[in-house]
Amino acid sequence: MFSFGKKTVKTVAPSAVSQISEMQSLQGIFNNLDDGLVYVDQKGTIKLINENAARLSGWTTKDAANIDVKFVIKLVDSKMVAVPNESNPFVTAFLTRKQVKTKDLSILGKNNQAIPIDLTVNPILVNGYAFNSLVIIKDIASEKLEENRLKDFISTASHEMRTPIASIEGFLELALNPKTATLDNRGRDYILKAKDAMQRLSELFGELLNTTNADDKLIVSNPKVIEMSSALKKFTDVLNQMAEKKNMSVEYKVGSSSPDDVSDTDSLSKNISPQYFVFADPKLLSDVIDKLFDNALKFSKEGRITVGISADDSYIQVYIKDPGIGIPQENLPHIFQKFYRVDTTSTRSIGGSGLGLNFCKETIEYYKGKIWAESIVGKGSTFYFTIPRLSAEQADQYSKAVVAR
């Protein structure tokens, strides 16, 4: 019986002979691999552990044998808080019978030193039940150190560049003001182009700073209760003005979970729009929608962009569908990665930092939501995100709490 927690799972045990053969085979593999490896039985007891895993934990292979894995491999989060039993990867993998991977935890080693790790827990299934687990541990301390150095550099550079950029923008404004400077048409055109370039540079440093803050879980959020259907409708009206400059249009759908649904898209005008409450920072959500819409507009030449919202009892879903160039299937898993840009003939002439979608991902995940995309090359893309929904009663309670605060 599985005894990591209160729940128990019945298993059908292999024969003793097969277990011995399996252990001998694994021992040989363990001794020849660079990663830390731990073999755990259904009771959470370590049956095999190699030198690398033992070194990270601060134990010896001999002393760790037949000890509870959670006692040997002590996991802590970024704040040095022990991972609770209900969310411990060893327990989760066994109960769900699914692989668990994380790079957000550390092992508490000798002298209470936290060592960042890449942890993978693979349950071994027998007749559909989790019988044992194979744990793979990679020491990523040097990788995390380099990441932190890069974050520090980006953060410092972003802060330091804001002052000279603001000064340059101020002087450009003075140069464009007829009361302070005289320019011919050619000179004015040059200054306007320089001003646009400085604005793009300022936005880039802003995105870099937002990205490092998100990585460090330093997102500044001032949440309030938002009724998303009406807020998104108002925002869509503004987006439509942007689209009209490109001879495109924006359609708003409410209550439709897919842009392909044939549904009543004019329900707002009939005053029967459902109310979708969330608790989030209006500016951060607006930034996410703005970046997704900007991408839709940027990668489309003509047609109509659809903005839609729907919900179930737990989550609200928003989507933005464009008629643009689309994203190759092999690129879809990577588009939310930092600095990643799809490199095709169609995209090379279109500017971008490769940080916008990463910011969207970090922001939505900060609010316990999910974001993803679907796309067909030549036919366009649809970006979706979800965010937890509040009931009307919860919305009222949250609103009163914010006012009291």
* Closest CA relative to residue 288, chosen from 228, 328, 248: 228
Query: Is residue 362 classed as helix, strand or coil in its secondary structure?
Result: helix
* Structural domains counted in the chain: 3
292 and 397 part of one domain:
yes
Q: At which of 189, 215, 241 does a domain end?
A: 215
* Per-residue pLDDT reduced to its tens digit, 236-277: 888 888 888 888 999 999 876 666 654 444 444 444 568 899
How many beta carbons lie within 10 A of that of residue 202, not counting itself?
Answer: 16
Whether residue 261 lies inside any domain: the answer is yes
Whether residue 5 lies inside any domain: the answer is no
Whether residue 2 lies inside any domain: the answer is no
Whether residue 11 lies inside any domain: the answer is no
245 and 393 part of one domain:
yes
pLDDT of residue 257: 67
Whether residue 10 lies inside any domain: the answer is no
Q: At which of 87, 108, 139 does a domain end?
A: 139
362 and 253 part of one domain:
yes
**Cα four-point dihedral sign 95, 99, 104, 105:** positive
173 and 261 part of one domain:
no
CATH of the domain at 115: 3.30.450.20
286 and 331 part of one domain:
yes
Q: pTM score, two decimals?
A: 0.55
* Closest CA relative to residue 208, chosen from 27, 370, 362: 362
* pLDDT higher than 90, residue 83: yes
Strands (E), 230-359: 249-254, 277-280, 304-311, 315-321
Q: Which of 171-180, 253-262, 317-326, 396-405 has the highest mean pLDDT?
A: 317-326
Whether residue 26 lies inside any domain: the answer is yes
148 and 174 part of one domain:
yes
96 and 21 part of one domain:
yes
Q: How far apart are CA 108 and CA 58, in angstroms?
A: 8
* pLDDT higher than 70, residue 27: no
Q: How far apart are CA 314 and CA 256, in angstroms?
A: 16
The pair of three-digit structure tokens given for residue 351, joined into one six-digit string:
């500017």
Domain carrying residue 155: 144-215
280 and 381 part of one domain:
yes
- Largest CA-CA distance found in the chain, in angstroms, rounded: 93
Q: At which of 139, 161, 196 does a domain end?
A: 139
Q: In angstroms, what CA-CA distances link 360 with 60, 292, 351? A: 44, 8, 18
148 and 135 part of one domain:
no
- Whether 359 and 214 have beta carbons less than 8 Å apart is answered as yes
Whether residue 7 lies inside any domain: the answer is no
* Per-residue pLDDT reduced to its tens digit, 282-307: 988 998 998 899 889 988 988 999 99
* Per-residue pLDDT reduced to its tens digit, 89-145: 999 998 888 899 998 899 998 788 899 999 999 998 888 777 889 999 999 988 888
Exposure string over 130-161, b if 16+ CB within 10 A, otherwise e: bbbbbbbbbbbeeebeeeeeebeebbeebeeb
300 and 352 part of one domain:
yes
Whether residue 4 lies inside any domain: the answer is no
CATH of the domain at 376: 3.30.565.10
* Closest CA relative to residue 319, chosen from 271, 366, 359, 369: 369
289 and 335 part of one domain:
yes
38 and 167 part of one domain:
no
